């Protein structure tokens, strides 16, 4: 089936993306999945990772998503994330600072205190993903 | 009778106060706009979230035995945690006393039933009030209401509440916040956070446009796992909503209070000016009488 699928990325602070896409590739809990128009409806949790899509003009866009959910309908994909940034909005300095913080914390915390360890680990993952997205092919958004 | 000098000083003082209240009014107005925008921005997320959650709940429903712990009401309620939101700063009319009053009443009702209440304060005013009254305060989050805050504040606050509930320290969690009804009306509301009451009801009119499809959703991981992910988030969403509403209400209420204060200052300046003019006139009359009297005496 030809045509574009509607993509919406919403966070508690703002609607990050709301536009038509030719294809959407999202980081699902059980692996990346691609969505074209006419996809079976489904619901899944997302990992921290990058959401890629081609906008109606065919340009590739990348968005950082901090976990959350995706609801896929035949004509629409809705991503509910606690936070999300388009690549051009990623603050590299902040991400690098966060990375450093997370690394320091990981060095301090022993594995026994698993709650803090988990948190630092997640923070680290977020920072690494942000930086990875930010650095990949800079200039495009 | 006040002397001329005294009245003059008083007028000056009141005028200065008026300038301050006017400025505070304008600051509150601009903060209010920001807070309202934030509320507006949160709406799509909240609506969508409610949509997905209620459809999930529908599917998971019926399985009463294995219902997630966050949904199951306790047979016997002995301890209740209450989250009380209030502002950090004063000069906002009856805003804080309304919220505090709401909690006070609730606490008395529950105390009569022999239920222990623990308080979690978000906002300094509520905390200060109840700390003086020896209410057990188990958590506090300051510098949130009325300031810039993100979703993580709600997550941090919510996580503690959920842990307390799951570990059996508390049997119910209620939240008191100020609902932003309109610019001139903000009402304190009490809402149950845990156990999560019927999911559909908990939301105010979620968009029910096209829910027909949802029955056929494939869920990945299972419905139960998705629920387990989403239910805590439901609590965070509710807290965040409460925070946003309370913040907006605080600014609206400060704006109104400062507007009133400015008006009162104006009235006071007017009446003082009248008194000043009267006193001045009385002085002139008295002086004239003296002069006339003196002249008469010389003549005689």
Give A83's contacts in chain B (Cβ within 8 Å): 151
Residue A141 lies in a domain: no
- The CATH code of the domain that includes A97 is 1.20.5
Instruction: Test A29 with B220 for CB contact under 8 angstroms.
Output: yes
Which domains are delineated in chain B?
4-26+257-299 (1.10.287.80), 34-254 (3.40.1380.10)
Q: Assign residue A103 a region (left: φ > 0; alpha: ψ between -120 and 50; beta: otherwise).
A: alpha
Residue A9 lies in a domain: yes
Q: Are strands B116-122 and B79-85 parallel, antiparallel or unpaired?
A: parallel
Question: Model-level pTM greater than 0.95?
Answer: no
- Comparing alpha-carbon positions, the chain A residue that sits nearest to B49 is A80
pLDDT of residue A93: 85
Indicate if A51 and A94 belong to the same structural domain. no
Indicate if A96 and A68 belong to the same structural domain. no
Indicate if A24 and A81 belong to the same structural domain. yes
Measured at the CA of B151, the angle between CA B149 and CA B154, to 5 degrees, comes to 95
pLDDT of residue B15: 95
Q: Is the model's pLDDT at A134 over the cut of 70?
A: yes
pLDDT of residue B216: 59
Instruction: Test B218 with A42 for CB contact under 8 angstroms.
Output: yes
Indicate if A77 and A17 belong to the same structural domain. yes
pLDDT of residue A107: 79
Residue A140 lies in a domain: no
Residue B196: which of B48, B56, B19 has the closest Cα? B56
Q: Which of B49, B151, B219 sits opposite A43 (nearest CB)?
A: B219
Percentage helix, strand, coil for chain B under 3-state DSSP, each rounded to 5: 65, 15, 25
pLDDT of residue B103: 93
Find all residues with CB under 8 Å of B219, minimum gap 6, and list them: A42, A43, A44, B56, B59, B226
Indicate if A95 and A69 belong to the same structural domain. no
Q: Residue B272 belongs to what H/E stretch?
A: helix B223-299
Q: What is the Rg, in whole angstroms, of the alpha carbon atoms belonging to chain A?
A: 16
> B169 is written with which tokens?
């320290």
Instruction: Test A80 with B45 for CB contact under 8 angstroms.
Output: yes
**Residue B273's CB: how many other CB atoms inside 10 A?**
13
Nearest CA of chain A to the CA of B215: how many Å? 10
- The CATH code of the domain that includes A71 is 2.60.15.10
Q: Which domain holds residue A115?
A: 90-135
pLDDT of residue B203: 46
Indicate if A71 and A95 belong to the same structural domain. no
Q: Does A78 touch chain B (CB under 8 A)?
A: yes
Give B219's contacts in chain A (Cβ within 8 Å): 42-44
Indicate if A71 and A114 belong to the same structural domain. no
Give B48's contacts in chain A (Cβ within 8 Å): 10, 71, 78, 80
pLDDT along chain B (300 residues), means of 10: 82 95 94 92 88 78 68 86 92 92 92 89 91 85 83 88 90 93 90 78 45 59 81 91 93 94 95 92 92 88
φ, ψ (nearest 5 deg) of residue B35 = -65, -40
Residue A71 lies in a domain: yes
Indicate if A56 and A97 belong to the same structural domain. no
> B210 is written with which tokens?
């096209």
- Please indicate whether residue B92 is annotated as part of the active site: yes
Indicate if A11 and A76 belong to the same structural domain. yes
Q: What is the Rg, in whole angstroms, of the alpha carbon atoms belonging to chain B?
A: 29
Average pLDDT over residues A91-103: 85
Average pLDDT over residues A10-37: 90
Find all residues with CB under 8 Å of B85, minimum gap 6, and list them: B99, B122, B123, B126, B145, B175, B176, B177, B178, B242, B243, B246
Tell me the ipTM for this assembly: 0.79
Indicate if A43 and A105 belong to the same structural domain. no
Indicate if A68 and A129 belong to the same structural domain. no
Average pLDDT over residues A75-102: 87
**Each residue's pLDDT tens digit, A37-76:** 888 888 888 989 889 999 888 888 999 998 888 988 888 8
Would you call A131 helix, strand, or coil by DSSP?
helix
Residue A77 lies in a domain: yes
Indicate if A40 and A71 belong to the same structural domain. yes
- Distance of alpha carbon A99 from alpha carbon A85, whole angstroms: 17
The length of chain A, given as a count of residues: 141
Residue A110 lies in a domain: yes
Best B45, B52, B153 member to test A by mutation, with max A CBs in 10 Å, is B45
**Each residue's pLDDT tens digit, B82-108:** 999 999 988 998 999 999 999 999 999
Number of domains in chain A: 2
Q: Which residue among B92, B121, B219, B265 is the active-site one?
A: B92
């Amino acid at each position: 089936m030809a045509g574009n699928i509607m993509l919406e990325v919403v966070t508690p602070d703002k609607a990050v993306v709301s536009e038509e896409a030719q294809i959407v590739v999202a980081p699902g809990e059980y692996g990346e999945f691609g969505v074209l128009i006419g996809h079976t409806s489904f619901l899944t949790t997302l990992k921290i990772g990058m959401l890629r899509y081609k906008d109606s003009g065919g340009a590739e866009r990348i968005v950082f998503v901090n976990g959350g959910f995706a609801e896929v309908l035949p004509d629409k994909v809705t991503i509910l994330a606690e936070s999300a940034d388009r690549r051009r909005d990623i603050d590299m300095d902040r991400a690098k600072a966060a990375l450093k913080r997370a690394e320091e914390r990981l060095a301090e915390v022993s594995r026994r205190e698993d709650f803090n360890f988990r948190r630092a680990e997640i923070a680290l993952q977020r920072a690494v993903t942000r930086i990875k997205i930010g650095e990949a092919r800079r200039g495009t958004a | 009778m006040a002397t001329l000098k005294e009245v003059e000083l008083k007028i000056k003082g009141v005028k200065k106060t008026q300038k301050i209240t006017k400025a505070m009014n304008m600051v509150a107005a601009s903060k209010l706009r920001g807070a309202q925008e934030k509320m507006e921005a949160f709406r799509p997320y909240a609506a969508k979230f409610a949509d997905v959650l209620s459809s999930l709940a529908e599917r998971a429903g019926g399985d009463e035995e294995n219902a997630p712990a966050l949904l199951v009401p306790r047979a016997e309620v002995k301890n209740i945690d209450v989250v009380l939101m209030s502002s950090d700063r004063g000069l906002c009319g009856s805003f804080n006393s309304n919220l505090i009053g709401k909690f006070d009443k609730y606490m008395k009702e529950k105390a009569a039933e022999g239920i222990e209440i623990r308080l979690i304060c978000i906002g300094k005013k509520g905390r200060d009030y109840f700390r003086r009254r020896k209410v057990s305060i188990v958590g506090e989050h300051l510098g949130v209401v009325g300031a810039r805050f993100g979703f993580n504040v709600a997550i941090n606050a919510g996580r503690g509440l959920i842990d307390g509930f799951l570990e059996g320290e508390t049997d119910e969690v209620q939240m008191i916040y100020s609902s932003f009804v309109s610019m001139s009306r903000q009402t304190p509301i009490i809402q149950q956070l845990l156990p999560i009451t019927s999911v559909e009801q908990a939301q105010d009119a979620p968009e029910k446009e096209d829910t027909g499809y949802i029955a056929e959703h494939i869920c990945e991981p299972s419905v139960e796992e998705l629920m387990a992910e989403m239910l805590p988030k439901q609590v965070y969403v509710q807290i965040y909503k409460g925070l946003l509403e309370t913040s907006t209400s605080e600014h609206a209420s400060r704006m109104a209070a400062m507007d009133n204060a400015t008006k009162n200052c104006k009235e006071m300046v007017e009446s003082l000016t009248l008194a000043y003019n009267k006193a001045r006139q009385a002085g002139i009359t008295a002086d004239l009488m003296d002069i006339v009297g003196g002249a008469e005496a010389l003549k005689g």
